[in-house]
Amino acid sequence: MYRPRVIPVLLLKGLGLVKTVKFDKERYIGDPINAVRIFNDLEADELAFVDITATNENRTISLDLVRNIGDEAFMPFAVGGGITTLEEIKQLLSVGAEKVIINTAAVTNPNLIEQAANSFGNQSIIVSLDIKKSLFNKYTIYTNSGSRKLKADFIEHIKKMESLGAGEILINSIDNDGMMQGYDIELINQVSNAVSIPVIAAGGAGATKDFGQAFKEGQASAVAAGSMFVYHGPRRAVLINYPDKNELFHVFN
């Protein structure tokens, strides 16, 4: 029976894994290649790697690191961080990534989405959007790792990304990031109702029941999480983990 994909999102700061809370308070987690090996053994559906400082440092996620991930990973994986050109996308796909994740450049240069979809197929292009609520509960897009606010209406922007050829939308709640208290279901629902392409829910998962809620109530096509897959227990000891298939089957059915 069908179940949504369950995707660990692993944050990179250069060549190391980190985890954040509300896009702040970075904590070093460990070596990304070691994490890939563990997720291989745990049979994760997919992985996503995002270099969170690449854009603000005017660089792209390390091509050598992506190549090393490609050599180790048994599952499909997506990569993001500082991607601004077709040539960068071509290089990342050529060393093993199945998909690229584009965030800030989707705002600063929307034509890149159309060009990339035409060149590599829309199944290879994920547009990632970081969303935060204003004091008046209005959803607002932020770029540059959550440091710059976009004035455009977030639903209109998402529809535009779909029309330009994005294959998937990764929607991440800055307010819920790292809190492990559940997704913003209203946000996920609004995005899912606005587009016909798959929507990946991210930001806030703390238990497998949150996956089920994002799927059943938020209408997400896939679910992603960070803290839940790198921490264990109330003290958040670092432990790479992933739910078994039976547990996931019961969560979604």
Beta bridge partners of 231: 238
By DSSP bridging, strand 16-21 and strand 231-232 are unpaired
Q: Helix axis angle, 32-42 relative to 63-72, nearest 10°?
A: 30
- Backbone dihedral angles phi then psi of residue 219, each to the nearest 5 degrees: 65, 25
- 43 three-state secondary structure: coil
Give 34's Cβ-side CA count (13 Å radius): 10
Closest residue by Cα to residue 129 from 115, 112, 149: 149
Vertex 193, ends 141 and 105: CA angle to 5°? 30
Give yes or no for a contact between 143 and 130, defined as CB atoms under 8 angstroms apart: yes
CA 205/CA 224 separation, integer angstroms = 8
Determine whether 64 is an active site residue: no
Determine which one of 24, 31, 51, 130 is catalytic: 130
CA 239/CA 14 separation, integer angstroms = 21
> If you search the block for the tokens 């969303």, which residue do you land on?
131
Give yes or no for a contact between 191 and 169, defined as CB atoms under 8 angstroms apart: yes
Catalytic residue positions, numbered:
130
